[in-house]
């Protein structure tokens, strides 16, 4: 079997069947056995007066179309296109790809602005920000308000945290979301204002204790001034005295716990010599 030749540096070189079998660029000249393979007809290459008598090849077909093909479609990767193969050697790449043959996937994360320690995941002509717990949004720019769902029960107050929340429960409830009824005894010192705590179930309040209130205070925990539950009468004012005990401050002419009693100034018999006393409100 004769040796197979291939083209290398514009010359015919003996070698294997695949060596130099594909190439890109413009072909200057081709020779076989040292003889030029003409690209143009004989009368174009040589003047009419020139008689070429040595061994040579003649172009028996019509003259091929002139021009170099710089870009080959099969070289373009990832949907690239040779838009002008005779003028440009590089492929026109779709969004997300780069390099002459569109083989390089552009890393959009190099210019992405993911926030709050989020992780950027590169895509084709896009990127995705993978948010840490507690954040959301295309760029993880928004902190999630976990209190929006009202997680605290039974009147608990919610404080938003990053990726969480905290409930401040009322005295009657406990638990992460104030979901459990608090078992309170006298060991928890529930009674206020110096009142006395007595262990045992109270059927009136439902508590496991009973507070015996000092004078001036009322309520299951003795934390409410009595005159806020029972209104002072006859224009009296609910206030605390010098010992910080709630009292009804009566206007002149009245007395009693709620100033409900009118003072009878005639009771002391202030009139002499048979005079008749008539009581008035001062």
Locate the domains of the chain by residue range: 23-51+65-104, 108-143, 150-182, 227-262
Residue 15 has pLDDT above 50, yes or no: no
User: What pLDDT does residue 64 have?
Assistant: 61
In this structure, what DSSP letter does residue 139 have? T
Q: How far apart are CA 4 and CA 17, in angstroms?
A: 6
Question: What is the per-residue pLDDT for 16?
Answer: 43
**CA R_g for the chain:** 52
Confidence of residue 266 (pLDDT cuts 50, 70, 90): confident
Mean confidence (pLDDT) of the chain:
83
Please count the CA atoms within 13 angstroms of the CA of 257 that sit on its side-chain side: 10
Give me the pLDDT at residue 79, please.
94
pLDDT at 280: 72
Q: DSSP string of 204-227? A: TT--SEEEEPPTTEESTTS-EEHH
Among 167-176, 239-248, 271-280, where is mean pLDDT lowest? 271-280
DSSP characters for 36-61? E--SS-HHHHS-TT----SS-----S
Q: What is the mean pLDDT of residues 126-132?
A: 96
Domain at 227-262, CATH from 2.30.30.90, 3.90.25.10, 2.70.210.12, 2.10.25.10: 2.10.25.10
1 has a pLDDT exceeding 50: no
pLDDT in tens, 193-243: 999 999 888 888 878 889 999 999 999 999 999 999 899 999 999 998 888
What pLDDT shows up at residue 52? 65
- Distance of alpha carbon 108 from alpha carbon 114, whole angstroms: 11
pLDDT at 112: 92
pLDDT at residue number 84:
87
pLDDT of 103 > 80? The answer is yes
Query: Pick the residue with more confidence: 190 or 20?
Result: 190
How confident is the model at residue 207, as a pLDDT? 81
- Phi and psi at 21, nearest 5°, equal -75, -20
Q: Tell me the three state secondary structure of residue 132.
A: coil
Query: Cα dihedral sign for 255, 256, 262, 265?
Result: negative
Q: What pLDDT is stored for residue 63 in this prediction?
A: 63
Bridge partners of 132, per DSSP, are none
| Equal fold, 108-143 vs 227-262 | yes
Distance between CA atoms of residues 95 and 26, nearest Å:
30
* Residues 27/7, Cβ–Cβ less than 8 Å: yes
Domain 108-143 belongs to what architecture? Answer: Ribbon (2.10)
Predicted TM-score (pTM) of this structure: 0.42
What distances in angstroms separate CA 84 from CA 49, 73, 87, 94, 191, one per listed residue? 41, 10, 6, 15, 91
By three-state DSSP, how is residue 75 classified? helix
Residues 6+ apart with CB under 8 A from 195: 211, 212, 213, 214, 217, 221, 222
Three-state secondary-structure class, residue 17: coil
Residue for token digits 């179930």?
201
Q: What is the mean pLDDT of residues 11-16?
A: 44
Inform me whether the pLDDT recorded for 14 exceeds 50. no
- Which CATH fold would you assign to the domain 150-182? Laminin (2.10.25)
pLDDT value of residue 2: 41
Containing 3, the helix (H) or strand (E) segment is none
- What confidence tens digit (pLDDT) does each residue in 134-153 have? 999 999 999 999 999 999 99
Lowest mean pLDDT of 17-21, 143-147, 180-184, name the range. Answer: 17-21
Write the pLDDT tens digit of every residue in 24-80.
556 667 788 877 777 777 677 666 666 667 777 777 766 666 667 788 899 999 999
The helix (run of H) or strand (run of E) holding residue 229 is: helix 226-229
11: pLDDT strictly greater than 60: no
């Amino acid at each position: 079997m004769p040796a197979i030749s291939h083209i290398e540096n514009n010359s015919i070189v003996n070698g294997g069947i695949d060596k130099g079998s594909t190439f890109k660029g413009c072909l200057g000249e081709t020779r076989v056995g040292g003889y030029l393979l003409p690209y143009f007809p004989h009368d174009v290459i040589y003047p009419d007066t020139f008689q070429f008598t040595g061994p040579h090849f003649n172009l028996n077909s019509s003259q091929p179309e002139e021009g170099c093909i710089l870009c080959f479609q099969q070289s373009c990767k990832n949907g690239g296109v040779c838009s002008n193969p005779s003028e440009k050697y590089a492929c026109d790449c779709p969004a997300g790809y780069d390099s002459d043959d569109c083989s390089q996937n552009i890393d959009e994360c190099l210019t992405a602005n993911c926030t709050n320690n989020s992780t950027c995941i590169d895509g084709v002509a896009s990127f995705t920000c993978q948010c840490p717990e507690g954040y959301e949004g295309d760029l993880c720019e928004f902190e999630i308000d976990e209190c929006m769902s009202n997680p605290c029960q039974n009147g608990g107050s919610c404080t938003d945290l990053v990726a969480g929340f905290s409930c401040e429960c009322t005295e009657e409830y406990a638990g992460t979301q104030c979901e459990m009824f608090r078992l309170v005894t006298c060991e928890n010192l529930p009674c206020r204002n110096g009142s006395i705590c007595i262990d045992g179930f109270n059927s009136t309040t439902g508590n496991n204790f009973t507070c015996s209130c000092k004078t001036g205070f009322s309520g299951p925990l003795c934390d409410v001034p009595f005159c806020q539950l029972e209104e002072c009468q006859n224009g009296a004012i609910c206030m605390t005295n010098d010992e910080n005990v709630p009292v009804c401050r009566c206007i002149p002419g009245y007395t009693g716990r709620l100033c409900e009693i009118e003072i009878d100034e005639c009771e002391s018999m202030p009139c002499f010599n048979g005079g008749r006393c008539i009581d008035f409100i001062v």
